[in-house]
Chain A
Amino acid sequence: MSDKPPSLWVYLSQSPLLWLTVTLLVYAIADAVSLATRRNPLANPVLHSIWIIGAFLLLTGTSYTTYFGGAQFVHFLLGPATVALAVPLYENRKVVMAAVLPMLVALAAGSVTAVVSVVWLAEIAGLPRPVVLSLAPKSVTAGVAMGISESLHADPSLTAVAVVLTGIMGAIIVTPLMNRMRITDFRARGFAVGIAAHGIGTARAFQVDAVAGAFAGIAMSLNALVTSLLVPLAVTMLVR
């Protein structure tokens, strides 16, 4: 009786149900905490969900592949959510059209800086070549960055981690940084965080201001476009 195998756990730990539930539940709690702290940047729900779920996987000896079997349903929605950015863009089209020129200039400067700075710093730090290549597309949204990484024969799963880390750091730092710089133009603030920190930065921008959110969304989609063209070029020029 006492050495009855824990067959329920064996069953549940292999089913998508458990891991999908864990993902949503942990995020719901992390988000509630973030809301309770009035969206303090350090209470970033993505950051806390990741380490809690990660620790849970390590403690239960569950492989990432098994976890992803359940979590893929959430991951899949990244694509539709990108399409959905058309709506804030449409609703703010007057503000956006009035700022087309500054946006294009900032897009060019920002996406070049994002790629060049990380490749250059990683080369200086002497990181191994596959790591440098995997870090290069870290400022674009996960699905796109993983595609770029694949086309460079780098490591897409490392790229995904770099993307999420970048997003979390950008989302945490943007509000204090911009406040300290006394930048009050929410179009510019949103646009910058969308370029530097893709969807996680955009989610943060929507928490702070609706116009900032719309501009972050545009910046994120434009950057996905530009970076997929830019990274192969920058890599051939910077990595020797």
Chain B
Amino acid sequence: MIASLSLILLCQLAGEVFVRGLKLPVPGPVVGLLLLLLLLLARDRFKVLARGPLQQDGVENASRGLLAHLSLLFVPAGVGVVQKLDLIAEHGVAIIVILAISVVVTLLVTVATFLLASRLMARGRSAP
């Protein structure tokens, strides 16, 4: 468990170092995600890597544990709303309406594009 958590933190740390070192406008944890993914894929190819947290579902279980309560992690940032009560009183309704419209439009555009693209792909494959 400790080794698996360390591996996750190590990936994040490496991602952070990489991003800051190269001054990339990319979040460190996202690079950490790519690193962990590469490690998992490399483990399947090279058996020498299958040790410590990379064996017997070690890092997999630790990750599932973290992701099982993903929404809890947003609570502290959300409670920050108490600092913004004056702004909410002034513009709260407008902000909420804007965010709501934007989220619905984004959901619809994304889902429609995904379905359209996967249908076009399927058609392209069936008619070579």
Contact = CB atoms under 8 A, between A and B. Distances in A.
Interface of A: 23-24, 26-27, 31, 44-46, 49-50, 53-54, 57-58, 64, 67-68, 71-72, 74-75, 77-91, 93, 99, 101-103, 105-106, 109-110, 113-114, 117-118, 121-122, 125, 127-128, 131, 135, 138-139, 142-144, 146-147, 151, 157-158, 160-171, 173-174, 177-178, 181, 183, 185, 187-189, 191-193, 195-197, 199-200, 202-204, 206, 217, 219, 221, 224-225, 228-229, 232
A232 B11 CA distance: 27
Contact of B73 (A81, A91, A195, A229): A81
B67 A67 contact: no
12 contacts: A27-B69, A50-B81, A64-B83, A74-B76, A75-B76, A80-B66, A85-B67, A102-B118, A106-B117, A127-B98, A151-B25, A177-B107
Interface SS majority for chain B: helix
Interface in B44-84: 59-60, 62-64, 66-84
Contacts of A105: 113-114, 117
A64 B82 contact: yes
Nearest to A170: B103
Interface residues of B, number: 69
Contacts of A49: 72, 75, 78
A145 to B, nearest CB: 9
Contact of A131 (B40, B62, B77, B95): B95
B127 interface: no
Interface-central residue, A31, A86, A142, A219, by most chain B CB under 10 Å = A86
